[in-house]
Amino acid sequence: MKGHTVPRAFSELTFTPTVRAHQERMGSAKTYAKFIEGGPQQGHLIGEPEKQFIQARDGFYQSSVSETGWPYVQYRGGPVGFLKVLGPQTIGYADFSGNKQYISRGNLDGNDRVAMILMDYANQHRLKILGRVEFTEGQAAAASLYPEGSEAPAERAAIIRVEALDWNCPRHITPRFTEAELRPHLNSLGQQMAQLQAENERLKQELSKLS
């Protein structure tokens, strides 16, 4: 991304010795060295742009790691705003019952680290978050995190302490649009079609009078 700066907190967690070795081999080590040595200090804090972006999402990808060392990626979706910013370093959501496999839940008991990717396909934006998750069981604990209009009871509250975040390069993000994003345009097209149909009907009637 043009002008993209990797926050120091993110690079310190992700640019391990083996990663740096590959950067050296592929010729990008010098480019990324400046992020470790002089990148933005506050790469773990949620600013206003991040807050607005996070709370405008209707889903995200969440990765945990099992006791066997295998990563597990899960998509979590809900109404816009179900992922809430609770502070400059804290986000959370009400964890509702799913298929009851509890793979992510179990993984995070053994290793509380979580990686998240939040996507805005329409505008080709992507935010990566690294954090640690703490669960509080029970509906009461999750009550303040309920999405507006939610009727299903949550099983627990999931609170994530953000340790690093980074806006990712938009390259290769294919624009996609939800029904809600398309609806205003579809409504406008529908109105135009109705006007054209009405005009077509009017012209038909005028022609029939001349024949």
pLDDT in tens, 14-64: 999 999 999 999 999 988 887 777 655 566 899 999 999 999 999 999 999
Residues 193 and 159 occupy one common structural domain? no
How far from 116 is each of 40, 55, 127, 157, 163, CA to CA, in Å? 20, 14, 8, 17, 12
Range of the domain at 77: 44-167
DSSP, res 14: H
Q: What's the number of domains the chain is made of?
A: 3
**Amino acid found at 92:** G
Residues 83 and 139 occupy one common structural domain? yes
Is 172 inside any structural domain? no
- Residue 123 is predicted with a pLDDT of 92
Residues 194 and 134 occupy one common structural domain? no
How far apart are the C-alpha atoms of 129 and 132, rounded to whole Å? 10
Rounded percentage of the chain residues whose pLDDT exceeds 90: 53
pLDDT in tens, 179-203: 888 888 888 888 888 888 888 988 8
Rounded percentage of the chain residues whose pLDDT exceeds 70: 94
Element (H, E) at 21: helix 17-26
Is 210 inside any structural domain? yes
